[in-house]
Amino acid sequence: MAAAINIEEARFNMIQQQIRTWDVLDPDVLALLNVVKREDFVPAAYRELAFADLDIPLKNDARPGQTLFAPRVEARLLQELAVKNTDKALEIGAGSGHLTALLAARADFVYSVEIDPELVDLARRNLKQAGIANVSIDLGDASRGWNLYTPYDVIVVSGSLPVLPEALLRQLKIGGRLWVVVGEAPLMQARLIERSDENTFSSKNLYETALPPLVNAQRPEKFVF
């Protein structure tokens, strides 16, 4: 019983000290963090760090980027995307399935694509145990988008993109929103991009950050002299 009380205290402190102080004040987002249990998506070795303000490795031999986002990052992107219950979402990089679960709690359906077979299995297992059914986890490379279920109302990219592919933007519905980290170290920006019509996209810089690139992410062309 004491352990459960400690977990709830840690969750409360996470919301109050990390998330609310990072300008995440949407009551629906804050309530959701109490419903989707973060600790159930964290590897056993890191369970005590489930509510810490850090990215958590998902595999013993994890490559850079094979992590669970820090809580404030997930909460902020949920607030910025304003996911609705009619939205069809694409998540590029399933990880442990935690962000997938958060998106699924608000969206109509989430299509998640993961390039690592072990993480595909992990995400599927965690989501099944959590009783979340309005998701699919595909094995594949979605570094330039995922045509299978286009177009999407919401796209979330869980690794950085040195170059933002035009094909990914074109997979947004009109009115759709994309959360992505663009650039290369040391200049990376988390952005919210919205598609207002066939050929018009607006971009809002949210904050500076550092995030490893997606596997097979498109790179800038290098000048040859």
CB atoms within 10 A of CB 79: 18
- Average of pLDDT values for 115-139? 97
83 versus 6: the higher-pLDDT residue is 83
- Average of pLDDT values for 68-96? 97
* Closest to 64 (Cα-Cα) out of 201, 210, 203, 178: 210
Q: Are 69 and 94 in contact (CB under 8 A)?
A: no
- pLDDT of residue 59 exceeding 90, the answer is no
Alpha carbon 163 to its chain's center: 18
DSSP string, the chain: -HHHHHHHHHHHHIIIIIIGGGT---HHHHHHHHHS-GGGGS-GGGGGGTTSSS-EESSTTPPTT-EEPPHHHHHHHHHHHT--TT-EEEEE--TTSHHHHHHHHHSSEEEEEES-HHHHHHHHHHHHHTT--SEEEEES--BTB-GGG--EEEEEESSBBSS--HHHHHTEEEEEEEEEEEEETTEEEEEEEEEEETTEEEEEEEEE---PBPTT---PPPP--
- Average of pLDDT values for 44-62? 90
What CATH number belongs to 2-58+65-208? 3.40.50.150
Average pLDDT over the chain, rounded to an integer? 93
Buried/exposed code over 121-134 (b: 16+ C-beta within 10 A; e: otherwise):
ebbbebbeebebee
Q: pTM here?
A: 0.93
Strands 135-139 and 152-157: what pairing? unpaired
- At 58, the pLDDT band (50, 70, 90 cuts) reads very high
Q: Are 35 and 105 in contact (CB under 8 A)?
A: yes
pLDDT computed for residue 72 by the predictor: 97
pLDDT computed for residue 27 by the predictor: 97
- pLDDT of residue 189 exceeding 60, the answer is yes
**Bridge-partner residues for 57, per DSSP?**
67
